[in-house]
Amino acid sequence: MVPAVLFAISIHEFSHGMTAYKLGDPTAKYQGRLTLNPLAHLDPMGALMLVLFRFGWAKPVMVNPYYFQDPRRGMVLVSLAGPAANIIAAWFFRLLLVFLPGQFSAQVGAVVFRFLWFNVAINLGLAAFNLLPIPPLDGSKILSGLLPPRYEFAFQRLEAYGPVILLLLLVSGIAGRLMAPIVYFLDRLISFLPAV
Instruction: Find the DSSP H helices in 23-132.
Output: 27-30, 44-53, 71-99, 106-131
Catalytic residue check, 13:
yes
d(Cα 83, Cα 100) in Å, to the nearest integer?
25
Q: Could you tell me which of 163, 190, 191, 3 has the C-alpha nearest to residue 83?
A: 190
Query: In Å, what is the CA distance from 67 to each residue of 32, 34, 74, 86, 117?
Result: 18, 17, 9, 25, 39
Q: Could you tell me which of 55, 68, 34 has the C-alpha nearest to residue 129?
A: 55
The active-site residue, picked from 12, 13, 129, 183, is 13
Annotated catalytic sites, by residue?
A: 13
